[in-house]
Amino acid sequence: MEAEAAPQTLATDVTFECRDVSYSYLDRYPALDGVSLTVRPGERVALLGANGCGKSTLLKLLDGLVFPSSGAFTAFGHPVTEDTLEDEQFSQAFRSRVGFVFQNSDAQVFSPNVREEIAFGPLQLGLAPDEASARVDEVIAMLDIAALADRAPFQLSGGQKKRVAIASVLATNPEVLLFDEPTAALDPRSQYWLTDLIEQLGAAGKTIVHATHDLDVLPRIADRCVVFSEEHRIVAEGAPEEILADRELLLSVNLIHPGSRLP
């Protein structure tokens, strides 16, 4: 599958590399300021930081949806710019290797029904309708959403929509998964299910980068934490246990409140 999607072999031991990237919305509101980050294959990286610190923007940048105003971003050893993504082959290879689960499932689940939604990615990436259809069935079975297959998105609950969004991303079988606050606004049961899923996907060898506020489960779903300050810079990196032990750090980036209890 991979060889098919990526015509030239992209042998490299670095999945993503950001060098000193900055980004600002409308050239006015800064979101990232001189961020450097390397993600290796199979790694599970958690992005931590207060609301509005630039985590989501970084994820969009890693997915080639926004482009740095300065600095360089490479994926699988190739520079990712507006220009290189114009190239159909590169774009197709990149999109099939990287999947993004958005925070807002309402924006992500845009098709008239669930089956079409899940089929969207595989079809865009050039699978034949039969093949795509078979893949849809498998993903539906895997995520246990067969009962939802013919429903319209507005008939789904928040947790169901999240499942559908994840199914729609997994259907293209990406090797890198980006999650933007995956457990936000989910009930505890769905949160638990999702944490389990991320753990399993990591165990299956997927590279995972996720932005999260859920500190309790960090040790289960991350090998490395990257902490953002409210000034849109990276201020610390380290193993989850290490970061969680550093109360001062988490207080200084306004991620926790003096009243918060840490795991």
Q: Kindly list the residues in this chain that would bind other proteins in the complex (CB under 8 A).
A: 26, 60, 63, 65, 88, 91-92, 95-96, 98-100, 102, 104, 106-113, 115-116, 119-121, 123-125, 129, 132-133, 136, 150, 152-155, 168-169, 172, 257-259
- Complex with other proteins: residue 7 or 220, whichever CB lies closer: 7
Smallest distance from other proteins to CB 151, Å: 9
- Complex with other proteins: residue 98 or 234, whichever CB lies closer: 98
- Complex with other proteins: residue 22 or 91, whichever CB lies closer: 91
Interhelix angle for 114-124 vs 129-142, to 10°?
A: 130
Smallest distance from other proteins to CB 142, Å: 18
- Complex with other proteins: residue 111 or 219, whichever CB lies closer: 111
**Distances, alpha carbon 252 to alpha carbons 47, 233, 247, in Å:** 16, 13, 9
Smallest distance from other proteins to CB 192, Å: 25
How many angstroms separate the CA atoms of 3 and 11, rounded?
11
How many angstroms separate the CA atoms of 44 and 34, rounded?
22
Smallest distance from other proteins to CB 237, Å: 26
How many angstroms separate the CA atoms of 94 and 123, rounded?
15
Smallest distance from other proteins to CB 220, Å: 26
- Complex with other proteins: residue 189 or 257, whichever CB lies closer: 257
Question: Which residue type, as a one-letter code, is found at position 114?
Answer: V
Mind giving me the DSSP string for 89-143? HHHHHHHHHEEEE-S-HHHH--SSSHHHHHHHHHHHTT--HHHHHHHHHHHHHHT
Strands 16-25 and 234-238 turn out to be: unpaired
What are the backbone dihedrals phi and psi of residue 137, each rounded to the nearest 5 degrees, phi first?
A: -60, -40
Residue 56 in tokens:
């989501």
Inter-residue contact 47 to 243 (CB < 8 Å)? no
Smallest distance from other proteins to CB 113, Å: 5
- Complex with other proteins: residue 47 or 176, whichever CB lies closer: 176
